[in-house]
Amino acid sequence: MLIGRQFEKHWNFPHCIGAMDGKHIVIQASNNTGSDFFNYKGDFSIVLLALVHANYKFTAIDAPMANLLPLRNVGRRPTGDAN
């Protein structure tokens, strides 16, 4: 309920619990993938989907083959010196 109230307060968008967007990321497919990652444009790609709440904080990320993408640290605070 809090996220819905924040969307209405900040963006005048009632009854909303998240904003979603997606992106096709072109990949170089391995020889044995067949048509698993083949898209309608004739490329091989994966689809990255993300859901954020009213203050741009990620609440969900869907990334097939996420172990191959540099997205494992999304939402974590960086460690070490900020300089």
Q: What is the pLDDT of residue 21?
A: 93
CA-nearest of 83, 56, 55, 61 to 73 is: 61
Q: What is the pLDDT of residue 71?
A: 43
Q: What is the pLDDT of residue 46?
A: 84
Q: Which mean pLDDT values do the consecutive 10-residue runs of the chain (83 residues) have? A: 87 90 84 78 86 89 62 49 46
Contact 61, 50 (CB under 8 A): yes
Q: How many H-runs (helices) and E-runs (strands) does the chain carry?
A: 1, 3
| All structural domains of the chain with their residue ranges | 18-67
